[in-house]
């Protein structure tokens, strides 16, 4: 349970750092819009339930296999939509993952720099308390 909390904390930190990037909100918005578009298209196009349409949309974008044999595309227009959906969607999701990765790296760099600065501050305070060295006469 501790490792899950730690993972979620790191993920939240990566999101926080990635959100500072100018394009992050737009990319995440595009990913959400893409999933919603797929969900609506599959739900209405095939007459599936909302949960089946959502499942198919997400499974298609993540290139995972569809385990439910009842979820089969039967309309040619949806098959064409799906090819465009996959090509576009994978690119968007890869960009979201890339920006989260960059956010994680920046978070790690900030944490490392903060630890280094803290250690240096302790060293500086320790040496400040040392008596000044006397210079030998020349």
Structural domain spans, the chain: 21-111
pLDDT in tens, 97-126: 999 999 999 998 988 988 888 888 888 777
What number is the average pLDDT over the span 66-71? 78
Identify the pLDDT of residue 129: 60
Torsion of CA 96, 97, 103, 108, to 10 degrees: 170
Q: Percent of the chain scored above 70 by pLDDT?
A: 89
Q: Is residue 132 predicted with pLDDT exceeding 70?
A: no
Identify the pLDDT of residue 120: 84
**DSSP codes joined into one string, 65-117:** ----TT-----HHHHHHHHHHHHHHHHHHHHHHHHHHHHHHHHHHHHHHHHHH
CB 89 within 8 Å of CB 42? no
CATH domain 21-111 topology: Helix Hairpins (1.10.287)
pLDDT in tens, 26-59: 999 999 999 999 999 999 999 999 999 999 999 9
Measured from the Cβ of residue 100, the count of other Cβ atoms closer than 10 Å reads 19
């Amino acid at each position: 349970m501790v490792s899950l909390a730690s993972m979620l904390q790191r993920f939240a930190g990566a999101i926080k750092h990635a959100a500072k990037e100018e394009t992050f909100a737009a990319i995440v918005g595009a990913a959400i819009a893409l999933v919603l578009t797929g969900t609506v298209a599959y739900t209405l196009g095939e007459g599936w339930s909302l949960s089946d349409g959502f499942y198919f949309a997400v499974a298609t974008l993540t290139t995972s296999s569809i385990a439910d044999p009842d979820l089969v595309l039967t309309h040619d227009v949806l098959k064409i939509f799906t090819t465009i959906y996959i090509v576009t969607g994978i690119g968007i999701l890869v960009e979201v993952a890339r920006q989260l990765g960059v956010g994680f790296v920046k978070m790690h760099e900030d944490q490392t720099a903060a630890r280094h600065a803290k250690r240096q501050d302790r060293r500086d305070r320790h040496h400040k308390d040392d008596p000044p060295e006397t210079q030998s006469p020349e």
